[in-house]
Structure 1
Amino acid sequence: MDKSRFLRFSSVLPLRTKGLYHQVPSHDLSAQATPYSDATPFGSPILTPVTRRTPKPRWSKNFRRFSVRRIVTVCVAIALLATLVLGGYQRRQRRLEEEAARDRERPKHHWEFYETLDGFYNGVRSLVKLSDWTPEQSQQRSELNTTVHHDVPMEPVLVDPYHFGSEKFLEDNYPVSPCFIDEDEKIPAPDVFAYPGIPANMPAPHFGSYNNLGITPDMCWERFGRLGPYGYSYPKEEGGLGFSVNSERAGADKILAKFDKIDWRNMNWDRAQKRCFEKNKHRFGGGGGGASPSSDEPPKKKVPRTAFVLRTWTGYEYDDIHLLSLRAMINELALKSGGEYDIHLLVHVKDESIPIWASEEVYQDTLRKNVPAEFWGMATLWSVPLMRLYYPGPFLKEDNYQNMAGSDIYGVYRSAHFALQWFSQQHPEYDFFWNWEMDVRFTGHHYEFHNQVAQWADMQPRKLLWERSQRVWIPDLHGSWENFSQLVEKETLAGKEAPIWGPVDFPTASHGMLPHPNGTKPPRSFEDDNYEWGVGEPADLIVFDPFVDPDKSAWVFRLDVTGYNTTLAPPPRRYAIITIGRLSKRLLNVMHDETYKMRHTMFPEMFPASVALHHGLKAVYAPHPVHFDRRWPLDVLDRTYNHVETPNDSPFGGQEHNNQGGSFYYNSGFSGAMWRRWLGAVDNNEGGRQFEEKNSGRMCLRGLLYHPIKFERVD
């Protein structure tokens, strides 16, 4: 969801012109002038002997066909065009100079004085083994030494995070039938490739860890192996997208030789996903389950099914670069997994006058005008009028503490969760729902990341889970995850507030309260629990930014709370910025009931976490790797994010500028710049093919979430 909530940090991009062409209209020059002169007296005989003239060059004849007026017109047009281009360039330069002047005049944020980190941009010709890697932060700039090889010093490898053929997997799981792109089952779902190392001096993540989540730490991804199988590296005439024509190519031929080109034209992803599920439905429990392949075979573990819901809208522009990301998600999460995931597009119809629920013809016409053909079957349309019908309320203004947005409660800005709740009620076959925004990108393997994050979250104990999830883990400062957890315990028990243990009680809401779901009451006291409760319990909510108590933050939407008694203090609540994450069917059912029965709702980043808090559901912040573009002092990083003195000091509220140089936050500028550089584009006059060829080759990054990506470019 594209939200312009605050001032965005944006890169200043130079005007880059690949070429300007002025095409003169073609003219028919075949007609020849009469041999008779208009000066010949009418009726006079022509008695003058014919004199053979030397023929003039063809160019001379053609030149005469351009009248003086035409030549003047062309010259004037060229002059006007040149004036417009020059004027536009000058205006842009003035604007850039004015912005630079304003930037010089404004007070600098503290992090802008820190030394920048450049190891992100080391390329494939500088790869080293993980055992030989030293992070850039661990060295002084004068100590940095990067060996650049003539070619890539490692061989690319096929990436297989599934291991469906291993003995260990088959001990507890049913066999997985491979899935195909085409109906004739001649084109298997493609593999992707990476390098078994990382570039020299690559910075370590400031927050989070690969090892802790179980993500392969010694593997990096460049664009040929990551996106090549989805059409990046071959032309449109062969069914690709032809982006690699101008790319740096060190080692690329070895990667290209590892996969066959697939003609992605006329692809139908919905049918491919359905075929894949039908071949493997015996693996799944719940609404999607089936019988064991053989009645003689002892029953094995049933796998939950997950809907991966991409939130989009009418008018959204699906550029060719985005198609690569969407194909990667569908292939790696749905087809290669044997149907564990289904990918959906949940499309917001912004024109509220279109009655998508009243006519199948109107519905299909709206869908086909706003979604690429290859995704038609996996798209579901919704609109605000539909939400008004589904959740009629009333949602009373006097029951709202503060509507800072000043907009209608049914608008997507304030109630994006309504559509996801509605979608989950239409699809009871799924156990979990990933809510995903269209401006998120990921360099690693989608199945490995999402599966490992989910498994890690499921294994987290309930004791002090909320407290751990409201802090960021800085490995270079805190050490291991175990050390960090012990520190959280020590700080919590030494503090004034009691830890959260089970459902949170508070004064009755104006419309009453729902009973808590089964299994949310702690089986023993906080003191008697030895970090046992919750281990192996599927997480109801997984987010990628810490949970924040809005009463301790200056976040602008902290009081957008509706349906509670406004004569009392607001209910306890939590929020996590960026509305991407995994929600369980149980959580979405409770949110649905809270909305239509109790008429309770809150701002989208706050409602899921607050419902989980109220009802004792399992909510987890997953400490995924996050980079910053500068060498932050570790004590300052910890103080900024974990030891906020006043509400206005919160980096997830009053001081959100601290995230501008990070790789994951709604106002990050570094995330988009690094993503475009990884794609091979020039950004801020840096990067691009010449830079990569002159230095150490194209970038090779470990799996990393990037948000927001507001535009993409491949030069």
Structure 2
Amino acid sequence: MSPIKFNPRNLFVRTRFPYEKLPGADSQSSSPLFSTPMIKSWRNRSPFSDRWRRPRLSLGRIIMLMVLALLLSSMIATGIVRQHRYNDEQRKKGERKLYHWEHFPRLNGYYNGIRSIVSFKDWVPEQEVAKAINAGNPKTQKWPLLSKEHKEPPLDPVPFNPYPDFSTGVYLHSHEKVEQCYLDQDEKIELPDIYAYPGVPQNMSAPSFGSYEELGMEDKVCFDRFGRFGPYGYSYSREEGGLGMSGKSESAGADKIWNREKKIDYKGVNWSDAQRRCYEKNKVRFVKNETAEANSDTPPKKKVPRHAYILRTWTGYKYSDYQILTIRAMINELALKSGGEYDVHFLMHVKDDSIPIWASEEIYQKTIRDNLPEEFWGMATLWSEQQMKSYYPEPFPNNVYNHAKAPVHSVYRSAHFALQWFSQAKPDYDFYWNWEMDLRFSGHYWEFNTKIGEWAKNQPRKGMWERASRYYIPELHGSWKNFTDLVEEETFNSDEKPVWGPVKFENTGMLPMLKETTPPHSYLQDNYEWGVGEDADLITFNPIFDPAKTNWVFRDDVTGYDLELPEPPRRCAIITVSRLSKRMLDIMHRETYLMKHHMFPEMWPPTVAFHHGLKAVYVPHAVYFDHNWPLETLDNTFNRPSKPTDSVFGWGEHNQLGNSFYYNAGFSSAWWRRWLGSIENEEGGTLQEEAGSGRLCMRPVLFHPVKFERGAD
């Protein structure tokens, strides 16, 4: 494949966060230099016609007119040439200066298709190929970037099943029996499987941040669009109950899925009822019966945590067919095939405060029907800013600086209000996932959520906040233990004390601290033991940093603390996507309504965890870059900027444009749409896939943001 024709401007996505004015030329359309001149119209007669109706043209006059015409043409041509030159000079002056990372070589291995799949043991990342080529290693001749040897994938797709075998004696010895769930009330429609290829496209690029191996995820497979979304209706017609979206797609080998998988008619599926029935069948797995356990001679079996998976949506949101596929995957993989471990909810913001959703059940249900696809009715909870004003009433005094110039109850400044209220209205969950509508995931939801939860549970508290403030770069840092040791050494050599338990700071009013968050011994006495086996109260997907050390624009949106004292210490994680414990949401709720404390949404949960000594971790999931950054440059830029203005969480956030997960990342949506089969930056699409190595096959990747989706072109 030839290097893709990359237009950096196509990576810039519009966002509600104006953190930085990116350099670039202003429009020239309003300039008088480039406006169209007004030209007077001439009548079809000589200007001298008032004196001579039929002038005589002598030979001399004819020659004179020809000379004048030639001179006039020459002047016009010269003017046009000069104007073009001037325009070119202005255009060149107006072009923005390329960022430093745009000069690094582009990575194209992301676009190697399923016909180039090899077993994981034979996979060589593109970065390793580039390194060998630069070193003049002849071994690279055996590492072609693309393979056209196969007309179909050299390996067949197989069902991907990350769940434990719920029927084994080992599982049943310590857990309650898992009852099988179905899509229909008559229990005839079995839950679909998804399919993965047991390999990776040769020379597919490796992630720059994070590690599948460290999280315990399956890293030796890849997913194409047919195996991932086919069972949810992507690849068969609407008459058959699907969505009929694969008609133009490159599809070599995709029919092998249907040799094992049945096509499901989704037209009559009621996902709300399916979730409810599944939970009722498996309630014993979650509800603790202390009386029965006290009277039993056998040891009590482990209770499984319950999760609320909350999709933050709003009235007027348009659900594309691709969005519907994603939501079906969430419900099936998280809630149904797990035996009821999750409930998927829509927390819908009613943007029009004049709609009396609380006065009429009929209006409440009509609002849902008007704003949600029918198959998801029954899963929505409505809220409004007017409701939050009553739930968390004014005043909220002593604001340091409201950079957004927005009311405190606006969703822009207080998206957490609705989440806190939801946790009080529906208190029967152990964890609440705050999920945005522009997130996408190419892997299996239950595997991802479960593995990161287990990983976070096993993390010690010693060095927790310091590790969470940095990106983990496996190629540079080595193992997670090496990374942990490095962070401890850097902390020891710095002027700052490590965080150990609830942070202490000067204040005039705080809630009492929890006894269980008090350290059992000193920092030096701890051997990375405290916190191991403790569920995390907060899991974020970007580092948890100190905003006071950056020029992040909302760092001073702090309310309710004594203005005569220094601003309280705080922490922040960009993008509000997170997993929060019930314990943490209860404290956030009490801090809000009792103490009138408030901060900008990205800053509030990490700061509450910081103040109260809760367990908070940044999970090192796989993040990819579209340019081949030198490792030291990557580390220095993202982990140790030379001054606050260089922080990637502020004016330096342009460094995030070329990755797969950040609020303004552009590569994320472009790569995701290429995986769906669309043309991006004049590359990709069906014809190129058929002429090359086939459709894309991707390892599990979390994408943000994806503002729109297109299919095969």
How high is the TM-score relative to the length of structure 2?
0.85
Aligned to 1:170: 172
Show CA shifts across 1:405-453 (max 9, x none): 0000000000000000000001111000000000000000000000000
Counterparts of 1:266-415 in structure 2 under 5 Å? 266-285=268-287, 298-396=299-397, 399-415=398-414
- 1:45 matched to which residue of 2? none
Offset of residue 241 of structure 1: 0.4
Conserved in 1, the CA contact under 8 Å of 2:648 and 2:654?
Answer: yes
2:128 to 129, 132, 138: 138
CA deviation profile, 1:133-153 (whole Å, cap 9, x unmatched): 111011128545133322211
2:18 matched residue in structure 1: 5
Paired residues of 2:311 and 2:434 also in contact (CA < 8 A): yes
Q: How far apart are the structure 1 equivalents of 2:358 and 2:635?
A: 51
Q: Secondary structure at the match of 1:412?
A: coil
Is 1:457 the counterpart of 2:470? The answer is no
Alignment partner for residue 590 of structure 2, among 588, 593, 602? 593
From 125, 128, 144, the equivalent of 2:118 is 128
User: Is the Cα–Cα contact under 8 Å of residues 284 and 290 in structure 1 kept in the other structure?
Assistant: no
Query: Of residues 91, 105, 116 in structure 1, which corresponds to 2:95?
Result: 105
- Report what 1:498 is aligned to: 497
Q: 1:351 to 1:272 in 2, by over 3 A?
A: same
Correspondence for 2:192:
190
Partner-residue secondary structure (3-state), 1:497: coil
Instruction: Return the alpha-carbon distance in structure 2 between the equivalents of residues 554 and 654 of structure 1.
Output: 7
State the 1:361 CA deviation.
Answer: 1.6
Q: Which amino acid aligns with 2:662?
A: Y
2:573–2:602 CA contact under 8 A, matched in 1? yes
- Distance in 2, matches of 1:514 and 1:406, equals 28
Tell me whether 346-355 or 103-112 shows the greater mean CA deviation.
103-112
Give the corresponding residue for 1:524: 521
SS in 1 for 2:632: helix
Greater Cα shift, 426-435 or 294-303: 294-303
Pairs within 5 Å for 1:417-432: 417-432=416-431
| Corresponding letter in the other structure for 1:122 | N
Aligned AA for 2:633? V
Instruction: Give distance in 1, aligned partners of 2:300 and 2:197.
Output: 39
Task: Please report how far the alpha carbon of residue 706 of structure 1 lies from its aligned counterpart in structure 2 after TM superposition.
Answer: 0.4
Could you give the per-residue CA deviations for residues 528-573 of structure 1, whole angstroms, max 9, x where no partner exists?
A: 0000000000000000000110111110000000000122211000
Q: Give the secondary-structure state (helix, strand or coil) at the position aligned to 2:345.
A: strand
1:32 is aligned to none
Q: Which amino acid aligns with 1:529?
A: D
Matched with 1:444 is: 443
Question: Which of 652, 677, 691 pairs up with 1:694?
Answer: 691
Cα distance, 1:159 vs. partner?
A: 1.0
String of CA shifts for 1:295-348, please: whole Å, max 9, x gaps. Answer: 786521100100000000000000111000000000000000000000000000
Q: 1:8 touches 1:667 (CA, 8 Å); kept in 2?
A: no
Name the TM-score, length of structure 1 as normaliser: 0.85
CA RMSD of aligned residues (A): 2.1
Residue 358 of structure 1: how far off its partner (Å): 1.5
Question: Paired residue for 1:244?
Answer: 246
Matched, 1:253 2:266: no
Which of these residues, 200, 210, 213, is aligned with residue 211 of structure 1?
Answer: 213
With over 3 angstroms needed to count, the CA separation of the structure-2 counterparts of 1:515 and 1:632, relative to structure 1, is same
Superposed, 1:622-637 pairs within 5 Å as 622-637=619-634
Q: Report how far residue 518 of structure 1 moved.
A: 3.0
Structure 1 vs Structure 2: percent identity of aligned residues? 58
Query: Equivalents in 1 of 2:542, 2:91: separation in Å?
Result: 34
Shift of 1:272: 0.3
Tell whether the 8 Å contact from 2:15 to 2:664 is kept in structure 1 after alignment. Answer: no
Question: What is the Cα deviation at residue 7 of structure 1?
Answer: 6.4
What's 2:182 paired with?
A: 180
Q: Secondary structure at the match of 1:309?
A: strand
Q: Is the 8 A contact 2:163 2:338 kept in 1?
A: yes
Counterpart AA for 1:626:
V
Question: What amino acid sits opposite 1:527 in the alignment?
Answer: L
Aligned-partner Cα distance in 1 for 2:91–2:176: 64
Match of 1:649 among 639, 646, 652: 646
Q: 1:534 aligns with which of 526, 531, 537?
A: 531
| Structure 1 equivalent of residue 147 of structure 2 | 147
- Partner Cα separation in structure 2 for residue 266 and residue 604 of structure 1: 38
The secondary structure found in structure 2 opposite 1:377 is coil
Equivalent residue of 2:369, what SS?
A: helix
Matched position secondary structure for 1:531:
coil
Pair 1:540–1:103, CA change in 2 (3 A): farther
Worse overlay, 139-148 or 498-507? 139-148
- Partners of 2:464 and 2:189 lie apart in 1 by 45
Check the 8 A contact 2:669/2:706 in 1, yes or no: yes
Indicate conservation of the 8 Å contact 2:20/2:651, yes or no: no
Aligned residue among 540, 549, 553 for 1:552:
549
Q: Distance between the aligned counterparts of 1:701 and 1:140, measured in 2?
A: 20
How many residue pairs match? The answer is: 622
Amino acid at match of 1:187: I
Instruction: Classify the secondary structure of the residue corresponding to 1:449.
Output: helix
Spell out, residue by residue over 1:199-219, the C-alpha distance to the aligned partner (whole angstroms, 9 max, x if none): 000111100000000110101
Note if contact 1:228-1:256 (Cα within 8 Å) is conserved in structure 2: no
Flag the 1:653–1:290 CA change in 2: closer, same or farther, 3 A.
farther
The answer to whether the 8 Å contact 1:395/1:563 transfers is: yes
Structure 2 residue matching 1:388: 3-state secondary structure: helix
- Give 2:435's aligned amino acid: W
Q: Residues 520 and 102 (structure 1 numbering): CA distance in 2 closer, same or farther, change over 3 Å?
A: farther
Distance 1:649 1:370, change over 3 A: same
Counterpart CA distance in 2 for 1:380 and 1:709 is 24
Deviation at 1:653, TM superposition (A): 1.4
Secondary structure, in 3 states, of the residue corresponding to 2:638?
helix
| Residue equivalent to 2:663 | 666
| SS of equivalent residue, structure 2 residue 420 | helix
Q: Deviations over 1:443-471 (max 9, x none)?
A: 00000000000000011000000000000
Against the structure 1 CA distance between its residues 565 and 102, is the aligned structure 2 distance closer, same or farther, given a 3 Å change threshold? farther
Q: For residues 101 and 205 of structure 1, do their structure 2 counterparts lie closer, same or farther at Cα, with a shift above 3 Å needed? A: farther
Report how far residue 193 of structure 1 moved.
0.7
Any unmatched runs of 5+ in structure 1?
Answer: 10-96
2:482 maps to 483
Q: For 1:35-54, what aligned pairs fall within 5 Å after superposition? A: none
- C-alpha distance in structure 1 between counterparts of 2:454 and 2:373, whole Å: 33
8 Å contact from structure 2 (residues 210, 473) kept in 1: yes
How far apart, CA to CA, are the structure 2 residues paired with 1:101 and 1:127? Answer: 44
8 Å Cα contact 2:546/2:570 also seen in 1: yes
Structure 1 residues 102 and 236, CA gap change in structure 2 (3 angstroms) = farther
Contact 1:393 1:596 in 2 (8 A): no
Q: Distance in 2 between matches of 1:193 and 1:712?
A: 22
Q: Secondary structure at the match of 2:503?
A: coil
Q: Is the 8 A contact 1:125 1:250 kept in 2?
A: no
Distance in structure 2 (CA, Å) of the matches to 1:436 and 1:214: 22
Cα separation, 1, equivalents of 2:609 and 2:315: 31
